[in-house]
Amino acid sequence: MIIHVVRPGESIYRISQLYGVPYRKIIEDNGLNNPETVVPGQAIVLMTDTIPHVVTRGQTLYSLAQGYRVPLNAVISANPQITDPSQISVGQVVQIPVITPKLGTIEVNGYAFPNINADVLQKTLPYLTYISIFSYQVRPDGSLSTINDTPVITAARQAGVAPMMVITNIEEGASFSSALAHTILTDTAVQNTLLDNIVKTLEAKNYYGLDIDFEYVYPEDRENYNNFLRKVSQRLRPLGYSLATAIAPKTSATQPGLLYEAHDYAVHGALVDHVIIMTYEWGYTYGPPQAVAPLNQVRRVLNYATTVIPSQKILMGMPNYGYDWTLPFVQGSAARTLTNVAAAELAGRHGAPIQFDQQAQSPFFYYNDASGRRHVVWFQDARSVQASLRLVNEYHLGGVSYWTVNAFFPQNWLVLSSMYNIKKVL
C-alpha cells in the first residue's frame, strides 16, 4: 500500500501511469465519485506491491534500494528479468517492491445505528471484531427502550462479527442525562430491574456482550458508578458475556469537568474486558474549528490511560467524520457534520487545495460558499488514519473503536487492513 498526495496538475490518470495501478482500481479503492476533481494535497491510496522506476544516469540497483529504503535482495527478487544486477541501463524500468509488514493483530469495534445501510454494513463487517449497536436507552424505572437491532445482529453473526448491546443514559427524545444516570446509580431496586432486563435482552437477541456508555455522570456519583460496574460484572461474568465501557478522554485522574470526573479509569480497567476511550471531539459541533482527533491530544490521553488501564484492554476511539465551520467562528453557532468522503468531494467541487497539519496529523481546507462566506473543513484521510493507527502499536493497545461505521470510508479500511490483522472472536 502507498499513500500518494496529489501534486498540482496531477490527475488520477497520471497517478495511474506513475504507479502502474489501473485507473479504475484507484477510483474504486478510494471511493472516488468524481475522479476528475481531485485537488492538490488530497491523499490517494494505491494498493500495489511494486512501484515502476525508470532508471536515470548513474543509478544502480544498490542506489535504488537505498533511495527507496528497501533491501537490495528484495529489489533483485522483484526483477527476475534482470540477469546481471550490476548492469542496468538508462531508461530501463525497475520494479521497486512495496514492503509494508503487518504490525500485529488487533480488535476493531464499530458503533452502528440500527438503520445502517445494508450495503455499507456488508462492506464493513469483514474489518470488524465487534459491532456495537447504538443504543438501548435506560429508563428511570430500569426498563429499556426498544430498537430494531435484529437485522444488524443477524448480519454480524453471519459474518463472524460479535454484536455488542449498548446501553446509554440518554433520555428518550433528548440527550445524555446526568439526572437519569443518578437515578440508576443510586437505586438498588432500579439497578436490579435494569440488570434483569439487560440479561433478558442479551439472551433473547443473541448478543455477545454489553457496552455501557454512561456520559455526563455527576462527579459525586463516581463511586456509585464504580459500584454499578462491579455489580454488572458480577452478574454477567458467570453467564459468559463480554463487558465494555466507553469513557471520556482524560489526561489525568483529577481532570475537572462533568464529562470526565465520574469516569474512574483504574476501576474500569480492572473490571471490564474493553475500555473504549472516546479520543475525538476536540473539534466538535459547537466548538471552534480544529481537528476532530488531533494526534498530539490523543497522545496525551494515551500517556495517562496506559498508566492505569492494562494497555491491551484499551480500544482507542477513531472518528469517521469531519466538520465544516462557517468563518469567522461565532460562539453558539453549529458546524455541519460530513463524512470523510463528502469532505474530499467538497474540496474537489470548490477546487480547494487540501492542507495537512503536522502536529494534529489531520487534513483541512478552506473554501467560499455560494454566498461568499468563508468555511474551513477538518476531516480524516488516509494519512491521518495511518498516523492514528500507528499509536496502537506504539502503546501496545488492544485495538480501535470507530464512531460510527454508518458511512463507508474506503481509505480507512484499506489502511487498517494493510497495517494489522483483524481479530475475530466468533
CATH of the domain at 390: 3.20.20.80
Query: HSE-up of 317 (CA within 13 Å, CB side)?
Result: 26
361: in domain: no
Instruction: Report residue 177 as a C-alpha cell.
Output: 442525562
**CB crowding 38-60: b at 16 or more within 10 Å, else e:** bbbbbbbbbbbebbebebeeebe
- Residue type at 36? E
Three-state SS at 317? strand
Q: Is there a single domain that holds both residue 396 and residue 278?
A: yes
352: in domain: no
Q: Is there a single domain that holds both residue 54 and residue 173?
A: no
- Residue type at 205? K
15: in domain: yes
Grid cell 465487534 — which residue? 130
Q: Is there a single domain that holds both residue 154 and residue 276?
A: yes
Out of 67, 97, 127, pick the residue that ends a domain. Answer: 97
Contact 108, 128 (CB under 8 A): yes
Cα–Cα dist 260/250, whole Å = 6
The pLDDT of residue 60 is 93
pLDDT profile of the chain (426 residues), mean per 10: 96 94 96 95 95 92 92 93 91 90 96 98 98 98 97 98 98 95 98 98 98 98 98 98 98 97 98 98 97 98 98 98 98 97 97 98 98 98 98 98 98 97 97
370: in domain: no
349: in domain: no
340: in domain: no
Contact 161, 426 (CB under 8 A): yes
Q: Is there a single domain that holds both residue 52 and residue 114?
A: no
Give yes or no: 28 in active site: no
Q: Is there a single domain that holds both residue 272 and residue 142?
A: yes
Grid cell 506513475 — which residue? 18
Cα–Cα dist 363/295, whole Å = 12
The pLDDT of residue 99 is 85
Contact 70, 97 (CB under 8 A): yes
Cα–Cα dist 384/407, whole Å = 17
The pLDDT of residue 372 is 96
Please choose, from the candidates 169, 171, 243, the residue with its C-alpha nearest in 3D space to the C-alpha of residue 202: 243
Q: Residue 339's CB: how many other CB atoms inside 10 A?
A: 18
Q: How many structural domains comprise the chain?
A: 2
Of 10, 171, 215, 345, the catalytic one is 215
Q: Is there a single domain that holds both residue 153 and residue 63?
A: no
Q: Is there a single domain that holds both residue 113 and residue 220?
A: yes
Write the burial class of residue 221 (CB in 10 Å: 0-12 exposed, 13-18 middle, 19+ buried).
buried
Grid cell 474551513 — which residue? 376
Out of 56, 75, 97, pick the residue that ends a domain. Answer: 97
Please choose, from the candidates 223, 221, 267, 222, the residue with its C-alpha nearest in 3D space to the C-alpha of residue 245: 267
Give residue 62's Cα distance to chain centre: 39
Q: Is there a single domain that holds both residue 286 and residue 390?
A: yes
CA 250, 255, 258, 261 dihedral sign is: positive
Q: Is there a single domain that holds both residue 137 and residue 211?
A: yes
User: 73: domain range?
Assistant: 2-97
CA 288, 294, 298, 300 dihedral sign is: negative
Q: Is there a single domain that holds both residue 289 and residue 410?
A: yes
The pLDDT of residue 411 is 98
Cα–Cα dist 170/177, whole Å = 6
Out of 77, 97, 117, pick the residue that ends a domain. Answer: 97
Taking each helix axis from N to C end, the angle separating 12-19 and 23-30, rounded to the nearest 10 degrees, works out to 110
Instruction: Report residue 78 as a C-alpha cell.
Output: 522483484
The pLDDT of residue 109 is 98
Taking each helix axis from N to C end, the angle separating 178-186 and 188-205, rounded to the nearest 10 degrees, works out to 100
Domain CATH number, residue 93 = 3.10.350.10
- Residue type at 339? T
Q: Is there a single domain that holds both residue 174 and residue 70?
A: no
SS3 of 108-159: the string is EEEEECCCCCHHHHHHHHHHCCEEEEEEEEECCCCCECCCCCHHHHHHHHHC
Q: Is there a single domain that holds both residue 174 and residue 294?
A: yes
325: in domain: no
14: in domain: yes
Contact 363, 381 (CB under 8 A): yes
- Residue type at 33? N
